[in-house]
Chains A and B, each alone.
Chain A
C-alpha cells in the first residue's frame, strides 16, 4: 500500500492541476461571499464557518472524477486490483491520496480564508479542528461515490449527488462546533462519523471497484 500511495503521490505532484484547481476554487468561492453579502464584519463573522465548510466540501469534490477515472480508462485499475492488495485496500489508498492532495491543502489554506471572512482569530483553531475530520470524511465518502459511479456516463454529475447528502450531518456538526459555546459534543459526533466511515467506505468502494472492473 505504501508503494501505491507513493506512486500516486508522485503522479498527483506531476499533475498538480487537480490540487491547484481545488485550492483556487476554494479561495475564489470563499471570496465571492463578501461581494454578495457586503464586507460588514458582523455578518461575515457569523457565517464564516459555514462558508469555509461549504466551500471546502465543494472544492474537494472537483478532483474526485479523475480519482479512478484515469485508471479505469488506461487499464491501470486492472493492475491495481491485481496488485495483491484487496480491493478495499486499493480504495483506502486512493482515499489517503485524495486527502493528502486535496483535503490537507484545503485545511492549510482554510485559516487565511477564515480570517479574511472576519472569523475571530480565537475560533480559527477550532475551525481547523473540525475541518480535519471533515475533510477526511469527505475523502472517504467522495472516494466511495467515485468508485460507485466509475464507468457511468454522467459520473461527474452523479458524484456530488451521492456525496453531498452524505456530508450534510458532518456539515451540521462541523459548523455547529465552531459557533457553539460547547463544541465538544459536535466534535465527538464528527469523530464518531469518521470512525464509522473509516472501515465502511473502503469496503463499499472496494466492492464498487471490483464491479466496475468486471
Chain B
C-alpha cells in the first residue's frame, strides 16, 4: 500500500519514480492511469478530479506497462503507423510479424505506440527494459521531443536517462 504520495507535474515535466522492487511504482502508475482505484486521495488534472470520468481520463494517457502488449500475429506496421517506427529504428522490420521480433524490438514497438498515440501524459512502467544503448538514446530523444511539445511523462525506471530537468519521486 502507498501512503502520503503527493506530487504535481506541469506541461513539459518528467517525473521518474524510484524505489526498491515492490515499493509500489507500478501500483502508483496504474492508479494514475485509473486502472487501479485509489483507496483514498485524489488525482487532479487542471484542478478537476481526473478519475471521476475514466474514459475521458484515458484519452489523456499513453500507457506502457511492464508487458509490451504486442500481438505476435500482427506486423509492426499493423501496431503503429509506419512513420512512428522510424524514431525507434524499426522501419526495416515494419512488415515482419511481431512474433519474429526480439524482446528489445518488441519494447521499442511498444514505445513507438506510446509516441504515436499523441496523448499529453505518458505513463511508462520500466520502459527501458531490454533496450540496448542505441535504443536508450532514441528513447531519450522521444521523451525530449514529447516534453518540448508540452507533454508530460511519469516513468518508473532503474536506468539513468539522458535527460535534464527530471524530477524524482522516491517511494
B55: contacting residue among A78, A79, A84, A214, CB under 8 A: A84
Judge if B15 is at the interface, Cβ distance under 8 Å: no
Once the chains bind, are B69 and A84 in contact (CB under 8 Å)?
A: no
Provide the residues of chain B in CB contact with A10, threshold 8 Å. Answer: 74, 78
CB distance from A93 to the nearest CB of B (A): 14
Provide the residues of chain A in CB contact with B67, threshold 8 Å. Answer: 73-75, 78
CB distance from A42 to the nearest CB of B (A): 48
Q: Is the interface of B mostly helix, strand, loop or mixed?
A: loop
Once the chains bind, are A78 and B63 in contact (CB under 8 Å)?
A: yes
Judge if A82 is at the interface, Cβ distance under 8 Å: yes
A75-105 interface (Cβ within 8 A of B)? 75-76, 78-79, 81-86
Once the chains bind, are A214 and B58 in contact (CB under 8 Å)?
A: no
B24-83 interface (Cβ within 8 A of A)? 30, 33-37, 54-56, 58-59, 61, 63, 65-71, 73-74, 78
Known: A74-B68, A84-B55. A213 touches B35 (CB 8 A): yes
Judge if A11 is at the interface, Cβ distance under 8 Å: yes
Give bound CA distance, A139 to B58, whole Å: 27
Once the chains bind, are A74 and B58 in contact (CB under 8 Å)?
A: no
Provide the residues of chain A in CB contact with B30, threshold 8 Å. Answer: 214
Provide the residues of chain A in CB contact with B54, threshold 8 Å. Answer: 86
Once the chains bind, are B73 and A14 in contact (CB under 8 Å)?
A: yes
Once the chains bind, are A11 and B35 in contact (CB under 8 Å)?
A: no
Judge if A153 is at the interface, Cβ distance under 8 Å: no
- Residue from B33, B54, B71, B73 whose CB has the most chain A CB atoms within 10 Å: B71
Known: A86-B55, A214-B36. A74 touches B69 (CB 8 A): yes
Give bound CA distance, A9 to B116, whole Å: 22
Instruction: Using CB atoms, name the residue of chain A closest to B59.
Output: A84
Once the chains bind, are A82 and B33 in contact (CB under 8 Å)?
A: yes
Once the chains bind, are B55 and A76 in contact (CB under 8 Å)?
A: no
Known: A11-B74, A214-B35, A214-B37. A76 touches B58 (CB 8 A): no
Provide the residues of chain A in CB contact with B71, threshold 8 Å. Answer: 11, 74, 76
CB distance from A34 to the nearest CB of B (A): 37
Judge if A15 is at the interface, Cβ distance under 8 Å: yes
Known: A74-B71, A75-B69. A82 touches B37 (CB 8 A): no
Give bound CA distance, A86 to B77, whole Å: 26
Question: Which A residues contact B (CB, under 8 angstroms)?
Answer: 10-11, 14-15, 73-76, 78-79, 81-86, 213-214
Question: Which B residues contact A (CB, under 8 angstroms)?
Answer: 30, 33-37, 54-56, 58-59, 61, 63, 65-71, 73-74, 78
Q: Which 7 A-B pairs have the closest CB atoms?
A: A75-B67, A14-B73, A75-B69, A82-B58, A76-B69, A84-B59, A75-B65
22 A-B pairs (CB sep. < 8 Å): A10-B78, A11-B73, A11-B74, A14-B74, A15-B73, A74-B68, A75-B65, A75-B66, A75-B67, A75-B68, A76-B71, A78-B65, A78-B67, A78-B69, A81-B58, A82-B58, A84-B55, A84-B58, A86-B54, A86-B55, A213-B36, A214-B37
In the complex, given contacts A73-B67, A75-B65, A75-B69, what are 6 additional A-B residue pairs having Cβ atoms less than 8 angstroms apart?
A11-B71, A74-B70, A78-B33, A85-B55, A86-B54, A213-B35
